[in-house]
Amino acid sequence: MTQRTRNWLLLAPAGAWFLVMLIIPLSVVFIFSFGERAPAGGVVPAFTFEQYANLPARWTAFKNTMTLAPIGTLSALLIAYPLAYFLAVKTNPKWKTILLVLVIVPFWTSILIRSYAWIFLLGGRGIPALLEYIGLEGVRLINTPFAVLVGIIYGYLPLMVFPIYVSLDKLDKRLLEASSDLGAKPWRTFVQITLPLSIPGIATGCMLVFILLMGEYLIPALLGGGKVFFVGNALVDLFLQSRNWAFGSAVAVTLVVVMLITVTIYMRLISRLGASREDVSIM
């Protein structure tokens, strides 16, 4: 058996899998997006751009996603960075592993159950009740964009902390020492050495979180009370309520295209910022 045949054989299962479970389904979605809604729901084959022309009807969902996804990513970054820095630079190595594991543990509980905890915490008997206690009455948190944002940050914080931690941990501590020996203020050391060197970690973390947020359904569904709608919610609605497969397919195709464009632009920006593209790996 030549090496060539062997490689082909090794690739065959994965290739077949991708063909049946990725290429064919995505092609069906693409084809359906040019179809028409069947009277009772579903799709009838056609060739029309009607579905795409109807996209403005979901403008708000796209707008919500395209605002809350970057805001969520950025907020997670702002909260995660100091923690990652603390863990990588300031923590006694003895405690490092345990503290790091403690960051990941919540991520290992179902996001459903974690969001459900927030339904209670943000609901009338949770934080608002506490606020009432100190005299702030009538604060409403649940079913607002703020609630969704809290859920997002909470859900994806570990994903942000981890890559940043890894890049900061790789950083040569002697560099920092040298910098302060040369009389640089801690702030300057941070801006000129630490921050630039941690950009690959930031980039990876942001991309991970951003990608997941673009397709988010659960957190807005549970914490947004049907009022904060992401594209993901619009999709579930189209397939599981109004049964408009044709329009749903068009929205799905658009979401994927928007995502690919955003991520490509993002990667260009990052590589211009100095991180090489290889550093921005998915995992």
Partner 1 sequence: MRLYAACVYLFLYIPIGVIALFSFNAGRHASQMQGFSTKWYGKALSNPFVMDALETSLMVAFSSALCASVFGTMAAVALQGIKGPVRTAFDMLIYIAVMIPGIVIGIATLIGLVTVFDQLNPLIATLWPEGFEPPKLRMGMGSLIAAHTMFLMALVVIIVRARLAGMDRALTEASSDLYATPMGTFLQVTLPTIFPAILAGFLLSFTFSFDDFIIAFFVAGSETTLPIYVFSSIRRGVTPEINAIGTMVLAISLLLLITAQLLLQRGAKKTR
Partner 2 sequence: MTNDIDYISKKKFMEELERYRKGSITRRHFLNITGLGAATAVLGASVPGLRPAPAFASDIGDRVVLATWPNYHDPANFEAFTEATGAFVQVNVFGSNEEMLAKLQAGATGWDVYVPTNYTIEDYVKEDLIEPLDTAKLPNYDASSFDPRYAEAGSVDGTLYAVPKNWGSTGMAVNTKHNDGNPISSWKEFFDISMDKFSGRAMVHDYQLTTIGSALNYHGYSFNSVDPNELADAEKLLIEVKPHLFAITSDYQPAMRNGDAWLTICWSGDGKQLNTDIPEIHYVLGAEGGEIWSDYYAIPKSSERKEAGYALINFLLDPQVNATEVLAHGYPTADEKTYALLPDALKNDPILFPAQELLDPLEFGAAVTLTDPNRAELMARFKSA
Name the H helices within the chain.
Answer: 3-18, 24-32, 50-53, 59-85, 93-104, 111-122, 127-133, 145-170, 173-181, 186-189, 195-197, 199-214, 218-223, 231-240, 245-272
The DSSP annotation for 209-250 comes to: HHHHHHT--HHHHHHSTTTS--HHHHHHHHHHTS-BHHHHHH
34, 61, 79, 88: residue in contact with partner 1 (rule CB under 8 A): 79
217, 243, 266, 279: residue in contact with partner 1 (rule CB under 8 A): 217
68, 87, 149, 237: residue in contact with partner 2 (rule CB under 8 A): 237
CA separation for the pair 95, 91 (Å, rounded): 7
As measured in angstroms, the least distance from the Cβ of 78 to partner 1 is 11
Using CB under 8 A as the binding rule, whether residue 124 contacts partner 2 is answered as: yes
As measured in angstroms, the least distance from the Cβ of 269 to partner 1 is 17
Q: Binding partner of residue 185 among partner 1, partner 2, none, CB under 5 to 8 Å per kind?
A: none
Q: Which stretch binds partner 1 (CB under 8 A): 51-59, 183-191, 195-203, 275-283?
A: 275-283
Report DSSP state, residue 42: B
Q: Which residue has the tokens 């060739």?
A: 47
Q: Binding partner of residue 180 among partner 1, partner 2, none, CB under 5 to 8 Å per kind?
A: none
42, 106, 186, 274: residue in contact with partner 2 (rule CB under 8 A): 42
123, 144, 184, 225: residue in contact with partner 1 (rule CB under 8 A): 123
Report DSSP state, residue 72: H
Q: Which stretch binds partner 2 (CB under 8 A): 150-158, 222-230, 256-264, 271-279?
A: 222-230
Q: Are 229 and 62 in contact (CB under 8 A)?
A: no
Q: Binding partner of residue 18 among partner 2, partner 1, none, CB under 5 to 8 Å per kind?
A: partner 1
Q: Binding partner of residue 242 among partner 1, partner 2, none, CB under 5 to 8 Å per kind?
A: partner 2
Q: Are 149 and 71 in contact (CB under 8 A)?
A: yes
The residue length of the chain stands at 283
Q: Which spans of this chain sit near partner 2 (rule: CB under 8 A)?
A: 37, 39-42, 57-58, 60-61, 123-125, 140, 142-143, 225-227, 229, 233-234, 237-244, 247
